Amino acid sequence: MNGKAGGYSAGPLVLALVYDGLCTFEFAITSEIFGLARPEMGPDWYRFRSVAIEPGPMLAQGGLRFECENGLDLLDDASLIVVPGWKGAQVPVPEDLVERLRAAHDRGARLASICSGAFVLAATGLLDGQRAATHWRYAELLAARHPAIKVDAQVLYCEANSVYTSAGSAAGIDLMLHIILQDFGVEAANSVARRLVMPPHRAGGQAQFIPRPVSPSPAGKLSGLLEAIRAEPQRDWTIRDMAKRVAMSERTFIRRFTETTGLPPGEWVIAMRIEAAKALLEGSGLMIEDVAQEAGFGSVEVMRHHFRKGLGLSPREYRETFAAGRP
């Protein structure tokens, strides 16, 4: 794996960092987008190389053994440096790599990360005071470890001060198409997207992929109520009725419910209605209006408002995205 592709080009030099334990998918999409020969783009298209941050031979996910002939000195010539994932959220970033990335950024190079690669860029301090993205599973840990960063677990990618971060693995494609759009315009981004057989821009953010909220602590006395709400989201679940059902005062109920689920009762009910609507949109042929009724929203307008707020896309867009392959 030497990364030498697209040698005809005289354009911006894109480097992908490789390391022992390499995230194979994240590296592959970086190489596919920036390293694949695209003569139709002309002589100024990207040049691509892979750069080893440690001596080889190394292993990639899936048991692939590889070597890379380029070392960190190549970072001095980079226009864009991509961190395709990282060894693990708990694995320290080597100080020499941190210093090299800072120096490259000071010289004008752009830095980008995919998924857990955000931990590498966070270690440089260049994201402090800035908004950044990572996979929703890592968002809390990234925010806790780097409190100066404004971690956004909802978006697919962020850009701040020539530093780009993206969410879960496939969101790296969204980010790289965005970079192509910036560098070469809409037509180039659309052309690459077509070859990838994907839209040049996906609606919504990663909220649409996060599983339903679960209780962070044992539900205990509330477990029956929680299951009842899940089973009948269309019911009018008022604070008064819910508190009465579990024989608590309203004030005590609100406190206990929030401690148990992590959300106030009203917000949790809405979250369950969104989950019910998602299931119906994915697996039934019901009209949007009927889905709104069955899920407890009462109207399409109300359901659309909560989908936009919670998922970043409309019910119709959600169905088109997730029910496309449904028989």
Q: How far apart are the first and last CA of the chain?
A: 41
- Please give the Cα distance from 269 to 274 (Å, whole number): 9
Give CATH for domain 211-322: 1.10.10.60
Secondary structure element (H or E) that encloses residue 58, with its range:
strand 58-60
Q: Is the pTM of this model over 0.75?
A: no
- Please give the Cα distance from 46 to 64 (Å, whole number): 26
How would you write the pLDDT of the chain (327 residues) with one tens digit per residue? 444 443 445 789 999 999 999 999 999 999 999 998 888 888 899 999 999 999 879 999 888 999 898 989 999 999 999 999 999 888 999 999 999 999 999 999 999 999 999 999 999 999 999 999 999 889 999 999 999 999 988 778 889 889 999 988 788 888 898 899 889 887 888 788 878 766 555 555 555 454 554 444 445 678 888 889 988 999 999 999 999 999 999 999 999 888 887 788 998 899 889 989 988 988 888 999 999 999 999 999 999 999 888 877 889 988 887 664 443
Coil, helix or strand for 16? strand
- Mind giving me the DSSP string for 157-185? EEEETTEEEE-STTHHHHHHHHHHHHHH-
Instruction: Please state, in angstroms and as integers, the Cα–Cα distance from residue 166 to each residue in 34, 65, 117, following that order.
Output: 16, 27, 9
| β-bridge partners, 5 | 48
Query: ω into residue 57 within 30 of 0, thus cis?
Result: yes
Residue 183 CB coordination number (10 Å): 17
What are the residues whose beta carbons fall under 8 Å from the beta carbon of 184, sequence distance 6 or more?
A: 41, 45
Side-chain-side CA neighbours of residue 53 (13 Å): 24
Q: Residue by residue, what is the 3-state secondary structure of 116-164?
A: HHHHHHHHCCCCCCCEECCCCCCHHHHHHHCCCCEECCCCCEEEECCEE
Give CATH for domain 13-208: 3.40.50.880
Q: Delimit the domains of the chain by residue range.
A: 13-208, 211-322
- Please give the Cα distance from 250 to 238 (Å, whole number): 10
Instruction: Please state, in angstroms and as integers, the Cα–Cα distance from residue 225 to each residue in 238, 248, 250, 256, following that order.
Output: 12, 12, 14, 12
Residue 249 CB coordination number (10 Å): 10
